[in-house]
Amino acid sequence: MAVTRRKSLAVLATAIAVLSVGDMIAPAVASALPSGKDPLRQAIAGLPDDSATGAQVRVGGTKGPHRVVTSGVADLRTKTSVKGDERFRAGSITKSFTASVVLQLVHEKKLRLDGTVQHYLPGLLPASYDKVTVAELLNFTSGLPSADDYGDLRKDRYKTYGHWQLSKSHFNKPMLFKPGTEQHYANIDYNVLALLIEKVTGRSYEQEVRDRVIKPLGLKDTYSPGNGTEIRGRHTKGYQAVKDPRTGRTHLVDVTDWNMSYTWASGDLISTTADLERFMTALFKGRVVPQTELKLMFTVPKVKMHEDGRTDTTNAKDAYYSSGLTRVQIGKNTYVWGKTGGTMGYLSAFGATRDLSRTAVYSVNATDAKSQTPPAILRKITMAAFTE
């Protein structure tokens, strides 16, 4: 998949201004903040470098201290330093917002956790598929197959995809497993949930997220862009490293502008670290999702992770996704709940201990954000934020 992605992006380089890594990154290193002996500053020091052009990290919680640390540049051309309040593409963090809307609708009895896709959206799934429930979509145990490769889509950065048609195009393959028996993380589950939101409310997904989550919490810099390709207002730019097959040189392609309709409710949100901190805090305190349904966001199903082609589940990993969040163990005794997100040019996350004693939100402008091997800076940020 990574090879296909790089080939697709190489095509884009002929139509987009390209930046030489050597020419553009080296002069900007001086903009990085001094690291001293501060673990958090050390974690992101030295940007831009080959792995990332900029980073912003916001940490806090009831045990404090609350602070924002930045490094690198928001724009390689202007060499404008990252200030820590810029917008960015939040990727799959969007799923936490989508889950919040769905669980509100469950509380209002407009959706049932045991209600099926076949009941709410007749004709979407093939007749040969097993019944898939709302609960199984929420915690990624639906068994629905995902797209083989988004590589071809990356050549069509400004194309608008119809949500029903795009979702339905996944279903020309058999189910991955019997619903409820394994966990498989994929965008398809949350795009189907958005179709359910629209069906039972009679309004667009974007309207429901705005009126149920964004506006009540006063998230002034957060929005779903719909079919818009640009990020409004001040923002960090995203870049993707591409190797020129003719010269062998690596260049950075500006991939900031993108029509995210192919990820939609699973990954199109634009936000800031301050807004995501506000959302996370309100969510954990029960101010977004009622307490009865909120329990689902902190409950991981007792199943194994699905692996393609596996026949023996004995040594399979335990599931670690809940309904809209992820559970991560740091050290022996610390569990962090949150959500990560990655889209071209941007790697982001929010996370906190359940009691909100420690919180962290970050956005890193990674130069290969969709790589199967995350850059080391992400682990450094996480360890510094929750162990310092």
Residue 285, CA distances (Å) to 161, 279, 280 in order:
36, 10, 9
Cα–Cα distance list, 31 to 51, 82, 109, 384 (Å): 16, 9, 53, 21
User: Does residue 83 register a pLDDT over 70?
Assistant: yes
pLDDT at residue 133 tops 50: yes
Q: Give me the mean pLDDT over the 337-365 stretch.
A: 97
Phi and psi at residue 52, in whole multiples of 5°? -160, 150
Asked whether residue 215 carries a pLDDT value surpassing 90, the answer given is yes
Q: pLDDT band for position 132 (50/70/90)? A: very high
Q: Is the pLDDT of residue 102 over 80?
A: yes
What rounded mean pLDDT belongs to the chain? 89
Percent of the chain past pLDDT 90, that is, above it, reads: 78
What's the confidence (pLDDT) of residue 208?
98
Among residues 197, 214, 226, which one has the least CA distance to residue 106? Answer: 197
Tens digit of each residue's pLDDT (9 = 90 or more) over 217-237:
999 999 999 999 999 999 999
Asked if 120 contacts 94 with a C-beta cutoff of 8 angstroms, the reply is no
Determine the average pLDDT of the residues in 105-109.
98
Quick one: angle between helices 94-107 and 273-284, nearest 10? Answer: 30
Which residue(s) pair with 269 in the sheet?
91
Is the pLDDT confidence value at 188 over 60?
yes
Alpha carbon of 374 to those of 30, 61, 195, 238, 378: distances in Å?
25, 26, 31, 16, 7
Instruction: Answer yes or no: is pLDDT of 6 > 50.
Output: no
Other beta carbons less than 10 A from residue 2's beta carbon: 12
Q: Is the pLDDT of residue 14 over 60?
A: no
Q: What percent of the chain has pLDDT over 70?
A: 87
Phi then psi for residue 53, to 5 deg, are -100, -25
Give the integer Cα–Cα distance in Å for 319 and 189: 16
Radius of gyration of the chain from Cα atoms?
20
The 10s digit of each residue's pLDDT in 17-57 is 344 443 344 333 333 334 458 999 999 999 999 999 999 99
* pTM of this structure: 0.91
Tell me what the mean pLDDT of segment 87-101 comes to: 98
Q: Which pair of structure tokens corresponds to residue 205?
A: 């997904």
Length of the chain in terms of residues written: 388
d(CA 269, CA 226): 9
pLDDT of 364 over the 60 cut? yes
For residue 317, how many other CB atoms are within 10 A of its CB? 11
Residue 3 or 370, more confident? 370
Q: Is 2-387 a domain of CATH 3.30.479.30?
A: no
Confidence class for position 149, pLDDT limits 50, 70, 90: low
Name, in order, each residue with C-beta under 8 angstroms of 201's C-beta and a sequence gap of 6 or more.
105, 110, 208
Amino acid at 88: F
pLDDT at 310: 67
**Statement: residue 2 has pLDDT above 60:** no
Res. 156: pLDDT tops 60: yes
Which residues touch 379 (CB under 8 Å, ≥6 apart)? none
> For 284-342, how does the pLDDT look when each residue is reduced to its tens digit (9 = 90+)?
999 999 999 999 999 999 999 998 766 666 779 999 999 999 999 988 888 999 999 99
Note the pLDDT tens digit of each residue in 168-177. Answer: 999 999 999 9
Q: Is the pLDDT of residue 209 over 90?
A: yes
Nearest to 328 by CA among 367, 385, 268: 385
pLDDT at residue 64 in the model = 82
CA 275 – CA 218 distance, rounded (Å)? 8
Q: Which of 380, 360, 376, 356 is nearest to 368 (CA)?
A: 376
Per-residue burial over 188-219, b if 16 or more Cβ lie within 10 Å, else e, is bbbbbbbbbbbebbeeebbebbbebbbeebeb
Q: What is the predicted pLDDT for the residue at 148?
A: 53
Q: Are 364 and 348 in contact (CB under 8 A)?
A: yes
pLDDT band at residue 370, thresholds of 50, 70 and 90? confident
Task: Supply the pLDDT for residue 154.
Answer: 58
- For residues 234 and 271, the answer to whether their CB atoms sit within 8 Å is no
